[in-house]
Chains A and B, each alone.
Chain A
Amino acid sequence: MTSSTIITNNSHARIVEFVSTLFAQHLAYTGMASRVEILNEGGFRSDGRRQFELRSINIDLSQQGHADGSASISHGLTHVLVSVFGPREAKNRSQTIHDRANLNVELSIAAFSTGDRRKRSRGDKRVMEVAGAIKSTFEPVIQTSLYPRSQIDIFVQVIQQDGGVLQACINATTLALISAGIPMVDFVCAISGGVHSTNPFLDLTLIEESDVPNLTIAVMPKTQKVSLVTMETRLHVDRYEEIFRLAIDAGLIIHEEMKAAVLARSKTLMTCIDLGTHGGEEME
């Protein structure tokens, strides 16, 4: 990189340091990534997408166990499952905050989620970092002041990784919080973006993440406020704004998808309720 000005952090929004490329580290060691063209001359990426095409999104909002709200989302092959408990009474008093609810985010990454099997303890630095990023993203979005002295537990499980883990975690958390009925200011929709040479592109896979400078942003669609930007790689300052704006737009697209899923789920629930009440009447 030739420029003298390089952004590593930007003050557009609250910045959370996050070591996203660490996820990709093992891949680079094997040298596999180097044989793949990130963006070929035909304009295709290594998985057949074009620059601004996002991976297939699958959202499942069905009840999981006895969680108050849960959601699983997959961006391509990245799969994350989130369960939300609460608001409920805090387990230990030291964690209670007198005027608002305490957010407790716990992240676990399945050993089989990455290429090389590796168990990560809960005290793992990376795990803590991602959990911290999720927590600080949602603290201003959840209306915690409605629930003083209580606690909201968010359990995030990464089932499978193929780039964009943080974005999937945030999107799934948003959906799980919604399905738990916890009042929020807005959706939070996250997406990753990168730049290859001068070409920006969105929603990176693992191979792309380990090759190009990339950032993850989380946007609140209603106000178009950005609640998280993280960038761990070096990016030319001239390219930054372009990819930043593009990622916000992509966040809005993802919002549509998430909203549709929430509405569809609500509709199913409503029909079930209707059925229940109607059916009951008929039974009487």
Chain B
Amino acid sequence: MPEITILKRPRTEAVVTQRKFFKKTARGKVIKVLRERYLRDDVSCGIEGCRECETSNLSLPASGDKQHSAYPNGHFILPDTNVFLSQMDLVESTLFNPPIILLQTVLEEVRHRSLPLYNRLKALTKMDEKKIWVFYNEYRSETAIVREEGETPNDRNDRGIRKATAWYNSHLQLTRPPIRGQPSQLPTVVLMTEDAANRRKAEKSSIGATSVRQYVEGMKDASQLLDLLAAEGTNDIEPTKAVAGRQALYPEYLPTAVLAAGVKAGELHQGHFNANQYNYLEGSVSVPAYKKPVLLIGRENMNRVVDGDIVVVEVFPESEWKAPADEVVDQDSTLKNDDAEESADEADAEGNEVLVKESKLLSSEKRSSERQPTGRVVGIIKRNWRAYVCHIDSTSLTSSNATSLSQQTVFATPVSRLLPRIRIRTRQAPSLIGQKILVTIDRWDVTSRYPEGHFVRALGKVESKEAEQESLLLEFDVPYRPFGKAILDCLPKEGEQWVVPPKSATSPEWRDREDLREMIICSIDPPGCQDIDDALHARPLPNGNIEAGVHIADVSHFVHSDTPMDSEAASRGTTVYLVDKRIDMLPSLLGTNLCSLRPFVERLAFSAIWEMTPDAEIVNVRFTKSVIASKAAFTYEEAQIRKDDPHRQDELTTSIRLLNTLAQKLKAKRMAAGALNLASPEVKIHLDSAESSDPIDVEQKEMRETNSLVEEFMLLANISVARKIEETFPQTAVLRRHLPPPKTNFEKLQDILMKRKGMKLDVSSSGALAASLDQCVDPQEPAFNTLVRIMATRCMLSAEYFCSGSVGKDTFGHYGLASPIYTHFTSPIRRYADVLAHRQLSAAIGYTPLHPSLHSKPHVERVLDVVNRRHRMAQMAGRASVEFYVGLALKGRGEREKQVSGSAGTVTEEAFVIRTFRNGVGVFVSKLGIEGLVMFKRDMQFDAENYTITVGETTIAVFDKVTVRIEVEKDKNTQRGRVKMSLVHPIDSSGM
């Protein structure tokens, strides 16, 4: 049983033991604080062999360190706070290990000034190599001091440190009385401080004091350690300030009326804010008035905007325009010592350090490339804040104790690089470490460097599949809740048992439907496809022409306008495909069963049937509702093998061959018209098995002839349907377009190609672009052409749905497909726009009347806005999911290699350089379809004109082929795994 005692505090001690002071909170409330402390005599000095104090095995050696030239009798050093604040690197060095007495006063001051530094210091005290003893001087009766009137907290602490030093020296003397006949061998305790005033005062009261430099110069390994010293004089340590009024860090926004008037008058400009993912101090806003986006440089000019906000910017006069920086500036590394606690001196002492660092970053760049409009944010039209998936930054925690219920202010680092860190207050910070959490931003005050938010909920352990998956869905705003009862009630009552009723004149299903059940129809899809929404057939006609048909699942038969299922589908917009999960737009009964055109089952369909000449000229087209029974469901591969097998002469195979010949002709025509053959990095993830879903490996998707077959007929169907519905409903037809990209988008790529490869890119039209892309071939590098195509694709705009009455007829065109008109018709199970097109087509052929909502332009516009957004998000979510699995696969591959070879578990791959920075290169690993960044710790010789960076003797340029080592490393603070790349060839960058 532990001994329980009552500590008696005599009244006379009250002056030293009790403290009362008033404190003003951030909200301006005044609070009285009462504290007491119990002074004691059993606080151990921590020096071995001390007669009076209890010592443990952690104690400092009895005679201190005798290796320093200035202290032959041995010494201990007692550092002041500023030593740790400015010379932490030195203290952390393995060569620097004299016995250190760390005062509680110092420890607390470090904690108050910078939590990250405090956490580093705490880690040091626990290390075996370091000899550090923490002396709780504030609790020892001889060394405890009280702040005197008029004394600053800093002076008080300095005095406390001096007093403790003096006490130590006398304590050593008392506990080791001189033995007669032997010269005194007393070690000394030396005060180490960077503060000259403190040193002077110490020497006045005859306490040995030294500066860090002076001390290190006398050490054994002086030459090595001197390098670690922070430059002298540059770090003027300001005294800790008492509570001061908080300063505004950002300018206030202009009033809304001024903004509106300014935008109207053309003085201010409105647009979406896009953060720069490589440099957190830069962002841009695209505004209609300028061809190039308006550049925002620095925190102050970005003025508290978050990616996605709609903002109003003021553009500076042209003389102040700048070019974007060519440097990678990482928020995490620049701000790693920033403190989460919302302290009053954010704008002062520690704030300055960050600001100095940042302004250095901003000014040091020799911005070489072209200048573009530059400005600052003066107001916000609309915040687009949502919930962000974040990790807790463990260094910002004040207490990582699991039972602690105290409220802490911590940083939540968003997964997305585009977002600033968010400051949140929580009582459960320790348990949230290593978890993915959801955080929303509440506000961002002018006085606060970071936005403030709150914790919403935890998603689960980092790197657990469920958490990653859910965080992906949340991050891209994908609605993933299961379908509600009202929605499921809209399904046919028969459920799984639903079948096409037997043909009869009275059955509503058969009304005006063509019976195509005898037709040789098949479907070709990727392996494992469950929602088959298209099937094809082709047969020769007696007149020598060919009949080809595309049969699309008749979703509009099941999903009627103005039902709960319809509105849910409209708000979901699209089915989202992740590597290991599909988030359906429609309940799976429809998607994978009733609407899915499975083989050997009768299904309702919407058919487009062409009569074509053998040269693939369309003679006529008709659309009809039908009933089909697919004869086979092939994968691309199966269909290909069947087509290529000369022994097979059955009807199914011949029809595939017929389709293929037509498709090739269609494609040739399309290409001749100027369609682009674009490329995007697509990879496939091999999953181990359905249950574990551990990725085995990554490979690039293969493209077969049959892929193109299906694609051509789908395009044909879409174009034909687009013509039909536009003709019938000129005001409200649901169409899809791809605007030609502005020429300026290509400028950079053209320049790079010209300078690096001597190639020209003609962007005058899609046809010219297609032709010149075909010319961009490097005979040695087959992958080079793909890379150029990927880069060209990135310069283009994205395709979008629109309502035909909302835009001019001359802008209907689809740039990439070189088609004057286009829509989406062929995947109604997974895209909502197709459902609308189905309804319109059905009305156009007089099968059903058109629902009044589809006659209303504003309604269609509204629905398509949502669908467009969802479509974009779904694409990004899918890509992010692939990226996550590529990461997992890399890790798996690395581990396997480790087992086999015993070497470090890394993966090396070939990559192309796609961007160069002052301090790094951006690379693209085509085999894995991922992009990465190789960072160098210091600036290299950089030539922005020629897109090269010279490291040592080697010059790396854009489009160069390099070999990179890819590792998945866990961020120490946030526990999130991230892909880290370093160069292996032509130079090894691991040490740089």
Query: Which chain A residues have a beta carbon within 8 Å of chain B's beta carbons?
Result: 1, 26, 28-35, 37-38, 40-42, 44, 47-49, 51-57, 76-77, 112, 114-117, 160, 162, 195-197, 202, 210-213, 233, 236, 246, 249-250, 253-254, 257
Contact = CB atoms under 8 A, between A and B. Distances in A.
B4 A38 contact: no
B398 interface: yes
B125 A49 contact: no
Given A54-B4, A54-B7, A211 B39 contact: no
Nearest to A75: B6
21 contacts: A28-B427, A31-B407, A31-B409, A34-B406, A34-B407, A35-B112, A35-B398, A48-B37, A48-B38, A48-B40, A48-B136, A53-B5, A53-B6, A57-B6, A115-B33, A162-B34, A162-B36, A211-B404, A249-B1, A249-B4, A250-B4
Contact of A42 (B3, B134, B341, B405): B134
Interface in B415-442: 425, 427, 431
Contacts of A253: 4-6
A8 to B, nearest CB: 14
B992 interface: no
A49 B6 contact: no
Contacts of B34: 77, 115, 160, 162
B639 to A, nearest CB: 53
B649 interface: no
A56 B7 contact: yes
A30 B31 contact: yes
A34 B406 CA distance: 6
Given A34-B341, A44-B136, A213-B403, A54 B6 contact: yes
| Closest 5 A/B residue pairs (Cβ) | A56-B9, A48-B139, A211-B406, A48-B38, A115-B31
B: contact size bracket = 35 or more
Contact of A55 (B7, B32, B35, B399): B7
Given A38-B399, A53-B7, A32 B33 contact: yes
A87 B3 CA distance: 40
Contacts of B404: 38, 196, 211-212
Contact of A33 (B4, B18, B23, B407): B407
A210 B431 CA distance: 17
Interface string B10-32: 00000000100001010001111
Contacts of A114: 32
Contacts of A212: 403-405
A233 B38 contact: no
A160 B20 CA distance: 12
Nearest to A42: B136
A30 B406 contact: no
A210 B405 contact: yes
B405 A49 contact: no
Contacts of B8: 56
B139 A52 contact: no
Nearest to A234: B405
Contacts of A202: 4
A29 B404 CA distance: 15
B341 A31 contact: yes
A213 B427 CA distance: 12
A256 B4 CA distance: 12
A197 B401 contact: yes
Please indicate which of the listed interface residues A35, A37, A76 has the most CB atoms of chain B within 10 Å of its own CB.
Answer: A35
Given A54-B6, A56-B7, A233-B405, 15 more contacts: A31-B407, A34-B399, A34-B406, A35-B111, A37-B399, A38-B404, A40-B104, A41-B125, A41-B134, A53-B4, A57-B6, A197-B401, A213-B403, A236-B403, A250-B4
A47 B37 contact: yes
A41 B31 CA distance: 30
A212 B650 CA distance: 79
B144 to A, nearest CB: 9
B401 A52 contact: no
A276 to B, nearest CB: 30
Contact of A1 (B125, B134, B431): B431
A53 B37 CA distance: 12
A277 B398 CA distance: 65
Nearest to A56: B9
A210 to B, nearest CB: 6
B431 A47 contact: no
Contacts of A38: 399, 401, 404
A197 B31 CA distance: 29
B751 interface: no
B901 to A, nearest CB: 38
Contact of A52 (B2, B23, B104): B2
A48 to B, nearest CB: 4
Nearest to A37: B399
A48 B425 CA distance: 28
Contacts of B43: 42
Contact of A47 (B23, B30, B38): B38
A33 B7 contact: no
A47 B35 contact: yes
A211 B40 contact: no
Nearest to A161: B34
Nearest to B32: A115
